Chain A
Amino acid sequence: GDSVTQMEGPVTLSEEAFLTINCTYTATGYPSLFWYVQYPGEGLQLLLKATKADDKGSNKGFEATYRKETTSFHLEKGSVQVSDSAVYFCALREGTYKYIFGTGTRLKVLA
């Protein structure tokens, strides 16, 4: 079945460093792809999404490009802040209702 694999954490960076969190997927069709962020004690929030190949999702300085040829949707940010410390989940939407989540990557940004 469909699946999502993302890099294990934790990822620890200094403030203003460049961030990449890798995400790859397997799917039989053409899923929509998502990045969610979970701050401590809170539920998941949508960070960005892309619905077709070559689409780029972006929000709050984060970006991810839907790469069908490499089945990837890597999350990037040019300069992280302490406030970006959270757990990041890659996910895909399969068909009309089912969402499949990766295991999450914890990011810690040090001042």
Chain B
Amino acid sequence: DADVTQTPRNRITKTGKRIMLECSQTKGHDRMYWYRQDPGLGLRLIYYSFDVKDINKGEISDGYSVSRQAQAKFSLSLESAIPNQTALYFCATAPSASTDTQYFGPGTRLTVL
């Protein structure tokens, strides 16, 4: 079984709809992240969380919100989706050690019409 899972894997929605993307992990990591990937722009950080009570905005948090329901679960919401939020969204986890890397989920492809 995958260590970091994301649901749904693909979603098509309409402008103005509320969308939730979910991420679960079995790695036991404290840190969780949400990124979006756009062609030619690499990955950009939306939100990150160090534990259930510690949630922080990343560089492009406008239009997004998150919820850390448990150590293993971190959800990303688009309150009112717009077309320029069409992108590939990745969840990632990391342990707290300062030199360790991140572990990525398989991604959710979101299309907003």
Contacts and interface: CB of A to CB of B under 8 A. Distances in A.
Nearest to A1: B59
A3 to B, nearest CB: 10
A51 B43 CA distance: 21
A51 B99 CA distance: 7
Contacts of A89: 42-43
Given A97-B31, A97-B48, A97-B50, A44 B99 contact: no
Q: Which interface class (under 10, 10 to 19, 20 to 34, 35 or more) fits A?
A: 20 to 34
A6 to B, nearest CB: 9
B6 to A, nearest CB: 8
Contacts, number: 48
A37 B101 CA distance: 13
A93 B40 contact: no
Classify the secondary structure of B's interface with A. strand
A42 interface: yes
A46 B43 CA distance: 14
Interface in A49-95: 49, 51, 89, 93
A90 B33 CA distance: 18
B74 to A, nearest CB: 14
A43 B90 contact: yes
B99 A93 contact: yes
B45 A32 contact: no
A44 B42 contact: no
B42 A104 contact: yes
Given A43-B90, A44-B90, A101-B43, A96 B98 contact: yes
Interface of A: 4, 32, 34, 36, 41-46, 49, 51, 89, 93, 96-99, 101-104
A-B interface, 9 closest residue pairs, ranked by CB to CB distance from nearest: A43-B104, A103-B42, A101-B42, A101-B43, A44-B104, A46-B101, A51-B99, A43-B106, A32-B99
